[in-house]
Structure 1
Amino acid sequence: MDHIRRLLGRVTAAALTLLGVSVLIFAALRAMPGSYTELVLGPLATPEQKASAAASFGLDRPVAEQYGHWLRNTVTGDFGTSLVTRSPVASEFADRLPVTVTLTVLALALTLLIGVPLGVYTATRAGGGRGGAAGRLLSAFGMSLPEFVLGSLVVFLFTRYRLGLSVGTYTPWSEGPLASAGSLFLPACVLAVFCTAATARTTRDAVLGVLVEPHIAAAVARGEPKGFIVRHHVLRNASVPVLTLVATLSAYLLGGAVIVERLFDVPGLGSYLVDGLDRRDYAVVQAGVLLAATVFITANLLVDLLSGLLDPRLATAAKGAA
């Protein structure tokens, strides 16, 4: 019963957070200088033309009424109509979301395959040797390297020289999953650099924290091999902060790796949202931000529940605090 009560409390908090995000993004877009009618019609448009354009999309109604109408439709799955393309936002997202999801999955796969082993290796070599220092150096370099610098360098190298992969030629998912994933491999690698460095650093710190625990000293005293100790005693206890970071990175990637999508000409969700923001396409930006917030909150909720299973001490502490 306590588990159900805690779950309901977290779901309620998540729903209230999403409601707050919807209010903030709706108000922030209306408060930005330059309305939709001013940017689309231009400075030479007459007041009558601007008023007619605003009335055709309901932008002349009170803000509270506009928000209530939008929120009611969003709950039912209707994200509105794009002010620029005059097409449903849901259909636009359906075309672009698979591209960003594929890019996100590839980047996260590279992150986990490289970042976690690198972090464990760096932590277990922290007492000395060149391996630990090299791992820390790589992590610091990857976290400090801007994406636009690395992305521009990759675009130049693969455009100037024939290195086996093409740049700026996206293959749709319908033409073949492998071909589509291959066309997104380079941008996924660029995105994975920062994520891998952050994951390696977080894994290193988490593993170092677990290595000083008494049960690790007991395992060493029993004569258990080092690899066995790392696999069976360290990784599970060190996985909670890593999972939390991965949840944050997934929302960051899905919410829009805008620079990388622009550099590699990827028709994803991030570049679409930036275009919508430039043109004050309210329905597009509101739906995009709400989607990113939903992914972030849901991922953290799942990580919170999974953390209690991986480390029962967290669930016991939460129960005691309640």
Structure 2
Amino acid sequence: MAYLRWVLGRLTAAALTMTGVSVLIFAAVRAMPGRYSDLVLGPLATTADKAEAARRFGLGGSLPEQYGHWLLNAVQGDFGISMASRTPVSAEFAARLPVTLTLTGLALALTVLVGIPLGVYTGTRGKGGGRTGRLLGSLGLSVPEFVLGSLVVFLFTRYSLGLTVGEYVPWSQDPVRSALSLLLPACVLAVFCVAAVARTTRDAVLGVLVEPHIAAAVARGASVAFIVRHHVLRNASIPVLTLTATLSAYLLGGAVIVERLFNAPGLGSFLVDGLDRRDYAVVQTGVLLAAAVFITTNLLIDLVCGLVDPRISALAGKARS
């Protein structure tokens, strides 16, 4: 019962957060300098043209009426019409979403498959492993994406290294070639995340290794591999899971620069173009989608952490009571 109350509390907090985010997105878009009518219709548009555009794009009436109209339609899956392309925003996002999801999924997979084993290795190898982990972590965290991406683009366009740059293959044509065409930008995106996860995992492992039950396992003659599998990984997983949830939203945001560098037709570059054109529906949908992914991922991670370590939900229940 305590865990159920904790879950309901997390769901309520997620719903309230999404509502607050929608309000902030709506207000921020309308606070941007430059009127949509001047950018969409041009400076010679008549008053009748502006009124027709406001009616067509749902921008007539007061701001509370516009917000209520937009939110009600968004809940039903209708995100409006793009002012630039005159097509439904949902169709535009559906065409570009597979690119960004594939890119983010590849980067997240590389992060987990490389970062966690690297952190466990450096955390269980004493001072030598600690120095190596700090060095790799500092390098990965300090190199900006646009610098690393520009270097990768130069090397793979200057020399024949097996992978091409700027030649995206749609998923519907060839899934394997599509994934390979996004492998380089995914690697660039994953460098920062691998370094962050490796450092967090290393610190978590070092924190667990000083616990009394680890000393008891060593006294019983258990091997290092056994101790890591049965005593270290589960106890060190909570901060790693939390960071992974945060990095999923970071990858969606960081994909903007990488998509531009590698000419990938994803959501990031489309959202930047929408900002330049003051395309309200595109910007609102893009930011709302990123917020929904971030909030949902954090909610799922909280639920998983509550199952992995029941003390979390128990302490939360005691704090509320």
Q: TM-score, normalised by structure 1?
A: 0.95
Alignment equivalent of 2:155, drawn from 151, 157, 162: 157
In structure 1, the residue matched to 2:249 is 251
**Residues 5 and 317, structure 2, Cα contact 8 Å, conserved in 1:** no
Task: Report how far residue 51 of structure 1 moved.
Answer: 4.4
Deviation (angstroms), 1:121? 1.4
Q: Deviations over 1:215-264 (max 9, x none)?
A: 11111111111111111100111011111111111122234510000000
Tell me, in whole angstroms, the C-alpha distance in 1 between the residues paired with 2:108 and 2:92: 24
Amino acid across the alignment from 1:54:
A
Show CA shifts across 1:3-43 (max 9, x none). 22221221111111000000000000101101211223344
* CA offsets 1:257-313 (integer angstroms, 9 cap, x no match): 100000000011111111111111111111111111111111111111111221122
Task: Report if the CA contact (8 A) 2:189-2:254 is conserved.
Answer: no
Residues 33-83 of structure 1 deviation map (CA, whole Å, 9 limit, x = unaligned) = 012112233445455544443344232321111110000001111111111
Which residue does the alignment assign to 2:132? 134
Q: Secondary structure at the match of 1:257?
A: helix
2:291 is aligned to 293
- Is residue 256–residue 269 contact of structure 1 (8 Å, CA) maintained in 2? no
* Other-structure match for 2:280: 282
**Separation in structure 2 between the aligned mates of residue 305 and residue 48 of structure 1, nearest angstrom:** 53
Distance 1:203 1:123 in 2: 8
Alpha-carbon distance between aligned partners in 2 of 1:58 and 1:220, rounded to the nearest angstrom: 67
Offset, 1:108: 0.8
Q: Which amino acid aligns with 1:139?
A: G
| Range moving further from structure 2, 260-269 or 223-232 | 223-232
- Larger relative contact order (CA 8 Å, sep ≥ 6): 2
Q: Distance in 2 between matches of 1:66 and 1:312?
A: 44
What's the % identity of the aligned pairs? 74
Whether contact under 8 Å (1:255, 1:288) holds in the other structure is no
2:191 corresponds in structure 1 to 193
- CA distance in structure 2 between the partners assigned to 1:320 and 1:285 by the alignment: 41
Aligned mates of 1:96, 1:2 — CA distance in 2: 42
What is aligned with 1:91?
A: 91
Contact map agreement 2:122 2:202 (CA 8 A) in 1: yes
Give the match for residue 76 of structure 1: 76
Residue 40 of structure 2 contacts residue 83 of structure 2 at CA under 8 Å; is this kept in 1?
no
> Residue in 2 aligned with 1:239?
237
Greater Cα offset, 160-169 or 1-10: 1-10
Q: Is the 8 A contact 1:121 1:132 kept in 2?
A: no
Match of 1:139, SS state, is helix
What residue is the counterpart of 2:63 in the other structure?
A: 63
Contact (CA 8 Å) 2:22, 2:288: kept in 1 or not? yes
Looking at structure 2, the residues matched to 43 and 86 of structure 1 have their Cα atoms a distance apart, in angstroms, of 19
Change (3 A) 1:94 1:72: same
Query: Structure 1 residue 132: deviation in Å?
Result: 2.7
How far apart are 1:114 and its partner, in Å? 0.9
Unpaired stretches in structure 1, ≥5 consecutive residues: none
CA contact (8 A) 1:36 1:281 kept: yes
- Between the aligned partners of 1:135 and 1:14, the Cα distance in structure 2 is 35
Farther-moved stretch of structure 1 (144-153 vs 81-90): 81-90
- 1:188-207 deviation line (CA, Å, top 9, x unaligned): 00000001001011111111
Which residue among 196, 200, 221 is the counterpart of 1:202?
A: 200
TM-score where L is the length of structure 2: 0.95
Q: Match of 2:174?
A: 176
Q: Which moved more, 1:269-278 or 1:36-45?
A: 36-45
- In 2, Cα distance between equivalents of 1:315 and 1:10: 10
Instruction: Report the Cα distance in structure 1 between the residues aligned to 2:58 and 2:300, rounded to whole angstroms.
Output: 38
CA distance in 2 between partners of 1:245 and 1:172 (Å):
31
Does structure 1 conserve the Cα–Cα contact (< 8 Å) formed by 2:80 and 2:88?
yes
Amino acid at match of 1:274: V
Q: Quick one: distance in 2 between partners of 1:134 and 1:4?
A: 43
- RMSD of aligned Cα (Å): 1.5
User: Structure 2: how far apart are the matches of 1:319 and 1:194?
Assistant: 36
The 4+ residue runs of structure 1 with deviation greater than 6 A are none
By how many angstroms is 1:157 displaced?
0.7
> Match for 1:212 among 206, 210, 213?
210
Given that residues 273 and 284 in structure 1 are in contact (C-alpha distance below 8 angstroms), is that contact kept between their aligned partners in structure 2?
A: yes
